[in-house]
Amino acid sequence: MDIPRTIEWVADTDAGRVPGHVRLIDQTHLPEALVMIDTVELDVLYEAIRMLRVRGAPAIGIAAAMGVAAAVQEDPATDTGSLLARAEAAADHLATSRPTAVNLFWALDRMRRVARAHAGLAPGAFRARLVAEAEAVRDEDAAMCRAIGEHGAGLLRDGMTVLTHCNAGSLATAEFGTALAPLYVAAERGLTLRVFADETRPLLQGSRLSAWELSEAGLDVTVICDNMAAQVMKEGRIDAVFVGADRIAANGDAANKIGTYALAVQARWHSVPFYVLAPTSTVDPDTPAGARIPIEERGADEIVCWGGRRTAPEGIPVYAPAFDVTPAELITAIVCERGVARPPFEPALSEFTTQAAREREEQRP
Ligand code: MRU
Protein backbone atom coordinates (compact mmCIF):
# COMPACT_ATOMS: atom_id res chain seq x y z
CA MET A 1 0.00 0.00 0.00
CA ASP A 2 1.14 3.51 -0.75
CA ILE A 3 0.66 5.14 2.66
CA PRO A 4 -0.40 8.81 2.45
CA ARG A 5 1.42 11.44 4.45
CA THR A 6 0.57 11.48 8.16
CA ILE A 7 -0.25 15.18 7.95
CA GLU A 8 0.07 17.83 5.25
CA TRP A 9 -1.29 21.15 4.07
CA VAL A 10 -3.32 20.72 0.86
CA ALA A 11 -3.58 23.74 -1.43
CA ASP A 12 -7.14 24.03 -2.71
CA THR A 13 -7.42 24.44 -6.44
CA ASP A 14 -10.93 25.88 -6.62
CA ALA A 15 -9.61 29.28 -5.45
CA GLY A 16 -12.41 29.77 -2.91
CA ARG A 17 -11.98 32.06 0.10
CA VAL A 18 -10.00 29.40 1.92
CA PRO A 19 -6.73 28.79 0.06
CA GLY A 20 -5.99 25.42 1.58
CA HIS A 21 -6.65 22.98 4.37
CA VAL A 22 -5.08 20.33 6.59
CA ARG A 23 -5.23 16.66 5.67
CA LEU A 24 -4.26 14.00 8.20
CA ILE A 25 -4.61 10.29 8.78
CA ASP A 26 -7.12 9.54 11.56
CA GLN A 27 -4.92 7.05 13.40
CA THR A 28 -7.71 5.85 15.69
CA HIS A 29 -9.08 3.75 12.79
CA LEU A 30 -5.82 1.94 12.04
CA PRO A 31 -5.09 -0.81 11.22
CA GLU A 32 -8.64 -1.69 10.08
CA ALA A 33 -9.24 1.37 7.92
CA LEU A 34 -7.26 4.21 6.42
CA VAL A 35 -9.48 7.21 7.12
CA MET A 36 -8.44 10.77 6.27
CA ILE A 37 -9.59 14.00 7.93
CA ASP A 38 -9.74 17.10 5.73
CA THR A 39 -10.37 20.28 7.67
CA VAL A 40 -9.59 23.92 8.17
CA GLU A 41 -11.43 24.07 11.52
CA LEU A 42 -9.39 24.72 14.63
CA ASP A 43 -11.84 22.78 16.80
CA VAL A 44 -11.52 19.69 14.62
CA LEU A 45 -7.72 19.87 14.80
CA TYR A 46 -7.78 20.42 18.56
CA GLU A 47 -9.99 17.36 19.02
CA ALA A 48 -7.76 15.36 16.66
CA ILE A 49 -4.71 16.07 18.83
CA ARG A 50 -6.57 15.54 22.11
CA MET A 51 -8.05 12.19 20.99
CA LEU A 52 -4.80 10.93 19.39
CA ARG A 53 -6.20 10.95 15.83
CA VAL A 54 -2.85 12.61 15.16
CA ARG A 55 -0.23 11.70 17.74
CA GLY A 56 3.49 11.28 18.33
CA ALA A 57 5.50 14.29 19.45
CA PRO A 58 6.68 15.64 16.06
CA ALA A 59 3.28 15.08 14.38
CA ILE A 60 1.55 16.86 17.28
CA GLY A 61 3.88 19.83 16.70
CA ILE A 62 3.09 19.88 12.97
CA ALA A 63 -0.65 19.60 13.64
CA ALA A 64 -0.44 22.51 16.09
CA ALA A 65 1.46 24.68 13.58
CA MET A 66 -1.10 23.85 10.90
CA GLY A 67 -3.88 24.53 13.41
CA VAL A 68 -2.65 28.12 13.81
CA ALA A 69 -2.42 28.50 10.02
CA ALA A 70 -5.91 27.01 9.63
CA ALA A 71 -7.39 29.34 12.26
CA VAL A 72 -6.38 32.42 10.29
CA GLN A 73 -7.61 30.85 7.01
CA GLU A 74 -11.09 30.30 8.39
CA ASP A 75 -11.23 33.78 9.96
CA PRO A 76 -12.97 36.23 7.58
CA ALA A 77 -11.31 39.32 9.16
CA THR A 78 -10.15 41.96 6.69
CA ASP A 79 -7.41 43.46 8.89
CA THR A 80 -4.15 41.81 9.91
CA GLY A 81 -4.42 43.00 13.52
CA SER A 82 -7.51 40.82 13.98
CA LEU A 83 -5.80 37.90 12.25
CA LEU A 84 -2.78 38.22 14.54
CA ALA A 85 -5.08 38.15 17.57
CA ARG A 86 -6.76 35.06 16.09
CA ALA A 87 -3.39 33.34 15.60
CA GLU A 88 -2.36 34.08 19.19
CA ALA A 89 -5.69 32.84 20.56
CA ALA A 90 -5.45 29.66 18.45
CA ALA A 91 -1.92 29.01 19.74
CA ASP A 92 -3.06 29.52 23.37
CA HIS A 93 -5.95 27.12 22.84
CA LEU A 94 -3.87 24.43 21.12
CA ALA A 95 -1.33 24.62 23.95
CA THR A 96 -3.96 23.06 26.24
CA SER A 97 -4.50 19.98 24.03
CA ARG A 98 -1.76 17.71 25.41
CA PRO A 99 0.91 18.55 28.01
CA THR A 100 3.93 16.24 27.62
CA ALA A 101 5.26 16.48 24.05
CA VAL A 102 7.38 19.63 24.02
CA ASN A 103 7.21 19.75 20.21
CA LEU A 104 3.68 21.13 20.61
CA PHE A 105 4.91 24.17 22.55
CA TRP A 106 8.01 24.51 20.36
CA ALA A 107 5.87 24.66 17.19
CA LEU A 108 3.35 27.07 18.73
CA ASP A 109 6.12 29.43 19.88
CA ARG A 110 7.54 29.37 16.38
CA MET A 111 4.15 30.21 14.85
CA ARG A 112 3.60 33.02 17.39
CA ARG A 113 7.01 34.53 16.59
CA VAL A 114 6.41 34.42 12.83
CA ALA A 115 2.89 35.86 13.20
CA ARG A 116 4.17 38.79 15.30
CA ALA A 117 7.09 39.42 12.94
CA HIS A 118 4.71 39.66 9.95
CA ALA A 119 1.91 41.71 11.48
CA GLY A 120 2.69 44.43 8.94
CA LEU A 121 1.65 42.30 5.95
CA ALA A 122 -1.69 42.60 4.18
CA PRO A 123 -4.24 39.95 5.35
CA GLY A 124 -3.81 37.65 2.33
CA ALA A 125 -0.02 37.71 2.58
CA PHE A 126 -0.20 37.18 6.37
CA ARG A 127 -2.39 34.09 5.92
CA ALA A 128 -0.01 32.75 3.25
CA ARG A 129 3.04 33.38 5.48
CA LEU A 130 1.58 31.29 8.31
CA VAL A 131 0.77 28.45 5.93
CA ALA A 132 4.34 28.59 4.61
CA GLU A 133 5.72 28.41 8.16
CA ALA A 134 3.52 25.43 9.06
CA GLU A 135 4.65 23.68 5.89
CA ALA A 136 8.26 24.46 6.80
CA VAL A 137 7.73 22.82 10.22
CA ARG A 138 6.51 19.71 8.37
CA ASP A 139 9.26 19.68 5.75
CA GLU A 140 12.03 20.27 8.29
CA ASP A 141 10.69 17.43 10.40
CA ALA A 142 10.87 15.09 7.40
CA ALA A 143 14.50 16.11 6.83
CA MET A 144 15.33 15.71 10.55
CA CYS A 145 13.81 12.23 10.60
CA ARG A 146 15.84 11.24 7.55
CA ALA A 147 19.02 12.45 9.28
CA ILE A 148 18.10 10.56 12.49
CA GLY A 149 17.65 7.50 10.29
CA GLU A 150 21.13 7.93 8.80
CA HIS A 151 22.78 8.35 12.22
CA GLY A 152 20.75 5.54 13.78
CA ALA A 153 21.46 3.13 10.92
CA GLY A 154 25.09 3.27 11.98
CA LEU A 155 24.06 1.43 15.15
CA LEU A 156 22.58 -1.48 13.19
CA ARG A 157 24.22 -4.58 11.70
CA ASP A 158 22.80 -7.14 9.32
CA GLY A 159 20.65 -9.72 11.12
CA MET A 160 19.96 -7.63 14.23
CA THR A 161 16.64 -7.62 16.07
CA VAL A 162 15.33 -4.36 17.52
CA LEU A 163 12.59 -3.97 20.12
CA THR A 164 10.47 -0.81 19.92
CA HIS A 165 7.66 0.62 22.02
CA CYS A 166 4.62 2.72 21.07
CA ASN A 167 4.89 4.26 17.61
CA ALA A 168 7.80 6.51 16.74
CA GLY A 169 7.53 5.87 13.02
CA SER A 170 6.16 7.67 9.97
CA LEU A 171 2.77 7.99 11.60
CA ALA A 172 4.26 9.95 14.51
CA THR A 173 6.20 12.37 12.30
CA ALA A 174 6.18 14.03 8.89
CA GLU A 175 7.93 11.01 7.31
CA PHE A 176 10.28 8.10 8.27
CA GLY A 177 9.81 8.47 12.02
CA THR A 178 12.48 8.72 14.67
CA ALA A 179 12.98 5.34 16.37
CA LEU A 180 11.86 3.52 13.22
CA ALA A 181 13.78 5.72 10.76
CA PRO A 182 17.08 3.77 11.08
CA LEU A 183 15.19 0.57 10.32
CA TYR A 184 13.82 2.05 7.09
CA VAL A 185 17.24 3.44 6.13
CA ALA A 186 18.98 0.13 6.91
CA ALA A 187 16.35 -1.79 4.92
CA GLU A 188 16.97 0.56 1.95
CA ARG A 189 20.65 -0.38 2.25
CA GLY A 190 19.78 -4.06 2.03
CA LEU A 191 20.21 -5.07 5.68
CA THR A 192 17.94 -7.83 6.93
CA LEU A 193 16.48 -6.83 10.28
CA ARG A 194 13.77 -8.06 12.59
CA VAL A 195 11.57 -5.87 14.77
CA PHE A 196 9.63 -6.76 17.90
CA ALA A 197 6.85 -4.22 18.53
CA ASP A 198 5.48 -3.90 22.05
CA GLU A 199 1.68 -3.83 21.91
CA THR A 200 1.76 -0.66 24.11
CA ARG A 201 -1.23 -0.69 26.42
CA PRO A 202 -3.64 0.99 26.77
CA LEU A 203 -4.07 2.49 23.27
CA LEU A 204 -2.00 -0.10 21.39
CA GLN A 205 0.10 2.25 19.27
CA GLY A 206 2.68 -0.56 18.94
CA SER A 207 0.39 -3.25 17.57
CA ARG A 208 -2.06 -0.97 15.73
CA LEU A 209 0.41 1.53 14.26
CA SER A 210 4.05 0.36 14.37
CA ALA A 211 3.20 -3.17 13.27
CA TRP A 212 0.99 -1.74 10.50
CA GLU A 213 3.47 0.74 9.06
CA LEU A 214 6.47 -1.63 9.35
CA SER A 215 4.64 -4.51 7.69
CA GLU A 216 3.29 -2.19 4.94
CA ALA A 217 6.93 -1.22 4.32
CA GLY A 218 7.89 -4.89 4.04
CA LEU A 219 9.84 -5.20 7.29
CA ASP A 220 9.78 -8.33 9.43
CA VAL A 221 7.76 -7.35 12.52
CA THR A 222 6.48 -9.45 15.44
CA VAL A 223 4.03 -8.12 18.03
CA ILE A 224 4.38 -8.94 21.72
CA CYS A 225 2.39 -7.85 24.77
CA ASP A 226 4.24 -5.31 26.90
CA ASN A 227 4.66 -7.81 29.74
CA MET A 228 6.59 -10.21 27.45
CA ALA A 229 9.53 -7.89 26.78
CA ALA A 230 11.73 -9.07 29.68
CA GLN A 231 11.21 -12.69 28.71
CA VAL A 232 12.06 -11.99 25.06
CA MET A 233 15.25 -10.22 26.18
CA LYS A 234 16.13 -13.11 28.50
CA GLU A 235 15.76 -15.49 25.55
CA GLY A 236 18.50 -13.47 23.85
CA ARG A 237 16.27 -12.37 20.97
CA ILE A 238 16.81 -8.59 21.28
CA ASP A 239 20.02 -6.82 20.19
CA ALA A 240 18.90 -3.25 20.87
CA VAL A 241 15.92 -1.20 22.02
CA PHE A 242 14.96 1.84 19.90
CA VAL A 243 12.36 4.26 21.27
CA GLY A 244 11.25 7.82 20.56
CA ALA A 245 10.69 10.60 23.07
CA ASP A 246 8.10 13.25 23.84
CA ARG A 247 10.44 15.48 25.78
CA ILE A 248 14.12 15.15 26.66
CA ALA A 249 15.31 17.17 29.64
CA ALA A 250 18.62 19.04 29.49
CA ASN A 251 20.33 16.24 31.45
CA GLY A 252 19.12 13.51 29.06
CA ASP A 253 16.19 12.14 31.10
CA ALA A 254 13.62 11.18 28.45
CA ALA A 255 9.82 11.10 28.65
CA ASN A 256 8.15 8.63 26.33
CA LYS A 257 5.05 6.43 26.23
CA ILE A 258 4.23 4.71 29.51
CA GLY A 259 6.17 1.46 29.72
CA THR A 260 9.37 2.85 28.22
CA TYR A 261 11.03 3.20 31.64
CA ALA A 262 10.27 -0.44 32.45
CA LEU A 263 11.85 -1.45 29.14
CA ALA A 264 14.99 0.55 29.95
CA VAL A 265 15.31 -1.19 33.34
CA GLN A 266 14.84 -4.58 31.67
CA ALA A 267 17.34 -3.71 28.94
CA ARG A 268 19.97 -2.73 31.53
CA TRP A 269 19.43 -5.99 33.44
CA HIS A 270 19.90 -7.98 30.23
CA SER A 271 22.82 -5.84 28.91
CA VAL A 272 20.83 -4.74 25.85
CA PRO A 273 21.71 -1.23 24.56
CA PHE A 274 18.86 1.25 24.93
CA TYR A 275 18.65 4.09 22.38
CA VAL A 276 16.39 7.16 22.38
CA LEU A 277 15.89 8.77 18.95
CA ALA A 278 14.34 12.22 18.58
CA PRO A 279 14.74 15.52 16.78
CA THR A 280 16.34 18.49 18.56
CA SER A 281 12.84 20.02 18.82
CA THR A 282 12.12 17.31 21.42
CA VAL A 283 15.01 18.46 23.63
CA ASP A 284 13.77 21.01 26.17
CA PRO A 285 16.67 23.11 27.48
CA ASP A 286 14.27 24.82 29.91
CA THR A 287 13.56 21.55 31.72
CA PRO A 288 16.73 20.66 33.65
CA ALA A 289 15.72 17.11 34.64
CA GLY A 290 12.97 14.57 34.05
CA ALA A 291 11.19 15.20 37.35
CA ARG A 292 10.05 18.56 35.93
CA ILE A 293 8.41 17.05 32.81
CA PRO A 294 4.59 17.26 33.02
CA ILE A 295 3.07 13.82 32.60
CA GLU A 296 -0.32 13.60 30.91
CA GLU A 297 -3.01 11.59 32.68
CA ARG A 298 -5.69 10.08 30.47
CA GLY A 299 -9.29 9.10 31.19
CA ALA A 300 -10.17 5.89 33.04
CA ASP A 301 -12.14 4.50 30.09
CA GLU A 302 -8.94 4.01 28.10
CA ILE A 303 -7.88 1.47 30.78
CA VAL A 304 -11.13 -0.22 31.83
CA CYS A 305 -13.15 -0.40 28.60
CA TRP A 306 -12.22 -2.52 25.65
CA GLY A 307 -14.15 -3.39 22.50
CA GLY A 308 -17.32 -1.91 23.92
CA ARG A 309 -17.21 -3.83 27.23
CA ARG A 310 -15.83 -3.12 30.67
CA THR A 311 -12.67 -4.93 31.73
CA ALA A 312 -12.79 -3.88 35.40
CA PRO A 313 -15.62 -3.46 37.92
CA GLU A 314 -17.76 -0.30 37.69
CA GLY A 315 -16.44 2.49 39.90
CA ILE A 316 -12.98 0.97 40.43
CA PRO A 317 -10.29 3.66 40.86
CA VAL A 318 -7.94 3.97 37.90
CA TYR A 319 -4.59 5.73 37.55
CA ALA A 320 -3.63 6.39 33.92
CA PRO A 321 -0.31 8.22 33.34
CA ALA A 322 0.29 8.28 29.58
CA PHE A 323 4.07 8.75 29.79
CA ASP A 324 7.00 7.93 32.03
CA VAL A 325 10.54 9.25 32.32
CA THR A 326 13.58 7.08 31.66
CA PRO A 327 16.57 8.34 33.67
CA ALA A 328 19.55 9.34 31.55
CA GLU A 329 21.74 6.74 33.27
CA LEU A 330 19.71 3.94 31.62
CA ILE A 331 20.14 5.40 28.11
CA THR A 332 23.04 4.19 25.97
CA ALA A 333 22.82 7.06 23.46
CA ILE A 334 20.44 9.77 22.26
CA VAL A 335 20.26 10.00 18.47
CA CYS A 336 19.28 13.40 17.04
CA GLU A 337 19.46 14.73 13.49
CA ARG A 338 22.67 16.49 14.56
CA GLY A 339 24.46 13.38 15.72
CA VAL A 340 24.69 10.68 18.36
CA ALA A 341 25.01 11.95 21.94
CA ARG A 342 26.65 9.66 24.50
CA PRO A 343 26.72 10.14 28.30
CA PRO A 344 27.10 12.59 29.89
CA PHE A 345 24.34 13.99 27.66
CA GLU A 346 24.13 17.56 28.90
CA PRO A 347 27.00 19.10 26.86
CA ALA A 348 26.01 17.45 23.56
CA LEU A 349 22.29 18.23 23.96
CA SER A 350 23.12 21.82 24.86
CA GLU A 351 25.28 22.07 21.73
CA PHE A 352 22.42 20.66 19.59
CA THR A 353 19.82 23.11 20.93
CA THR A 354 22.21 26.07 20.71
CA GLN A 355 23.05 25.22 17.08
CA ALA A 356 19.35 24.87 16.23
CA ALA A 357 18.50 28.24 17.82
CA ARG A 358 21.42 29.92 16.00
CA GLU A 359 20.33 28.49 12.63
CA ARG A 360 16.75 29.67 13.14
CA GLU A 361 18.02 33.15 14.02
CA GLU A 362 20.11 33.21 10.81
CA GLN A 363 17.16 32.05 8.67
CA ARG A 364 14.70 34.53 10.19
CA PRO A 365 13.10 36.57 7.39
O1 MRU B 1 0.35 9.25 23.19
P2 MRU B 1 1.16 9.24 21.92
O3 MRU B 1 0.74 8.17 20.96
O4 MRU B 1 1.19 10.61 21.28
O5 MRU B 1 2.63 8.90 22.39
C6 MRU B 1 3.63 8.83 21.42
C7 MRU B 1 4.95 8.42 21.94
O8 MRU B 1 5.16 8.25 23.12
C9 MRU B 1 6.07 8.35 20.94
O10 MRU B 1 6.97 7.34 21.28
C11 MRU B 1 6.82 9.69 20.94
O12 MRU B 1 5.92 10.75 20.73
C13 MRU B 1 7.89 9.74 19.94
S14 MRU B 1 7.21 9.96 18.30
C15 MRU B 1 8.45 10.12 17.18
pLDDT per residue as tens, the chain (365 positions): 678 999 999 987 665 544 789 999 999 999 999 999 999 999 999 999 999 999 999 999 999 999 999 999 989 999 999 999 999 999 999 999 999 999 999 999 999 999 999 999 999 999 999 999 999 999 999 999 999 999 999 999 999 999 999 999 999 999 999 999 999 999 999 999 999 999 999 999 999 999 999 999 999 999 999 999 999 999 999 999 999 999 999 999 999 999 999 999 999 999 999 999 999 999 999 999 999 999 999 999 999 999 889 999 999 999 999 999 999 999 999 999 999 999 999 999 999 999 999 998 887 66
Q: Is 293 helix (H, G, I), strand (E, B) or coil?
A: coil
pTM: 0.96
Burial of 308 (0-12, 13-18, 19+ CB in 10 A): exposed
Q: Are 224 and 199 in contact (CB under 8 A)?
A: yes
- Catalytic, out of 246, 253, 284, 324: 246
DSSP state of 135: H
Q: Is 262 helix (H, G, I), strand (E, B) or coil?
A: helix
CA–CA gap between residue 241 and residue 258 (Å, rounded) = 15
Sign of CA dihedral 270, 253, 55, 149: negative
Sign of CA dihedral 178, 181, 183, 186: negative
Burial of 17 (0-12, 13-18, 19+ CB in 10 A): exposed
User: What is the four-CA torsion angle of 178, 144, 327, 317, rounded to 10 degrees?
Assistant: -50
What is the separation, in whole angstroms, between the first and last Cα of the chain? 40
Residues with CB under 6 A from ligand 1: 52, 55-58, 101, 166, 168, 172-173, 177-178, 205, 244-246, 256-257, 322
Q: Would you say how long the chain is, in residues? A: 365
- Beta strand pairing call for 305-306 and 309-310: antiparallel
Burial of 277 (0-12, 13-18, 19+ CB in 10 A): buried
CA of 37 to the centre of ligand 1 (A): 20
CA of 290 to the centre of ligand 1 (A): 16
Catalytic residue flag (residue 284) = no
Max distance between CA atoms of the chain, in angstroms, equals 66
Name residue 332's amino acid: T
Which of 62, 176, 257 for a ligand 1 pocket mutation test, highest count of atoms within 8 Å of Cβ?
257
- Give the per-residue pLDDT at 331: 98
- Give the per-residue pLDDT at 365: 61
Beta bridge partners of 274: 241
CA of 100 to the centre of ligand 1 (A): 10
